[in-house]
Amino acid sequence: MGGQKIGIVGSGLIGRAWAMLFASAGYRVQLYDILESQVTTALDGLREELQQLEAKGALRGKLTAAAQYELISGCTQLKELVQDALHIQECVPEQLQLKRSLYAQLDVLLEPQTVLASSTSTFMPSLYSESLERRSQMLVAHPLNPPYFIPLVELVPAPWTTEEAVERTRQLMLALGQRPVVLRREIQGFATNRIQYAILNEVWRLVSAGIISVADADRVLSDGLGMRYALMGSLETVHLNAPGGIADYFQRFGGEIAAVSATYGPTPDMGAEAESLAEIARQCEQLVPLEALQARRAARDEFLTRLAELKRQFP
């Protein structure tokens, strides 16, 4: 029953989210994990999550929760997982040695038609695929958490990844209703984290210099910049902000941007700056106590669903 087969390696947070996304588009999904108990837990969790989404009217795709769940099965043999797979999405913990040994195992099993994509948020694909036979079929497809509610997927090829593998993955992501972006070559941090870290760096500097509170620094994004960024990116935003568009904007404000940028301090080493870290954590935990994180995540996800609906109406 169902469409083409998708294999998922690692049935944790991200593996489960991918399983739901692929099933929502009618693909047959097989979930692999090292422990059988882990697979069983994942399948039970998925059944419950799909039902909850359906009850809330937030289920993606045209099939019922029960029909989507029917498309998902588990296995504990890599050999079984790779068989006849169109695409394999790797979602094991973020440890380079673990990924390297897993990719070496997958390399000998992989069929010629299968694309193998990693969900990694930090490792460039060349770091684990360089010496492998089937390296031209491997790339990174990096989602953002929670993938079920945030459509972006960054596709990052290694120097030897074929254009066909990238394009096929792009089409597959579109078929899921995700919004893929393609990097033409690999770079540390990909695009999303490079941009996210630039923001975090400046927020850190402003807060640790005592210029602004954690709550207000976050509001600059959530009540200000982020309102526009939810609809359009930073370049289109400034394109709309000058009578003659973006060229006019940068001619007018380029000097000011450079002048302000020259006052940015050095890159903070956040884990090592104990005093700033303690103060930022104190303020953040005052806003959202650690015991309230789960409830806050649930509220975020619920509103992301509604935001996604609203965004679909924006041309």
Residues 119-158 that bind ligand NAI (CB under 6 A): 119-121, 142-143, 145
* Structural contact between residues 43 and 68, judged by C-beta atoms closer than 8 angstroms: no
Q: Which is nearer to ligand NAI, 9 or 65 (CB)?
A: 9
To ligand NAI, the closest distance from the beta carbon of 238 in angstroms equals 28
* Structural contact between residues 115 and 129, judged by C-beta atoms closer than 8 angstroms: no
Which of 5, 6, 8, 15 is in the footprint of ligand NAI by CB under 6 A? Answer: 15
Q: Which stretch binds ligand NAI (CB under 6 A): 92-100, 193-201, 232-240, 299-307?
A: 92-100
Q: Which is nearer to ligand NAI, 164 or 302 (CB)?
A: 302
State yes or no: residue 94 binds ligand NAI (CB under 6 A). yes
State yes or no: residue 20 binds ligand NAI (CB under 6 A). no
- Lookup: tokens for 277: 């870290």
Positive or negative torsion for Cα 188, 191, 194, 200:
negative
The identity of residue 88, as a single letter, is: I
Q: For residues 249 and 47, what is the distance between their CA atoms, to the nearest angstrom? A: 51
Positive or negative torsion for Cα 259, 263, 269, 274:
negative
- Lookup: tokens for 1: 């029953």
Which of 102, 132, 155, 158 is in the footprint of ligand NAI by CB under 6 A? Answer: 102
> CB under 8 Å to 97, separation ≥6 — which residues?
none
State yes or no: residue 192 binds ligand NAI (CB under 6 A). no
Q: Which is nearer to ligand NAI, 75 or 220 (CB)?
A: 75
The identity of residue 77, as a single letter, is: Q
The footprint of ligand NAI on this chain (CB under 6 A) covers a number of residues equal to: 23
Binding site for ligand NAI (CB under 6 A): 9-15, 32-34, 38, 91-94, 98, 102, 119-121, 142-143, 145
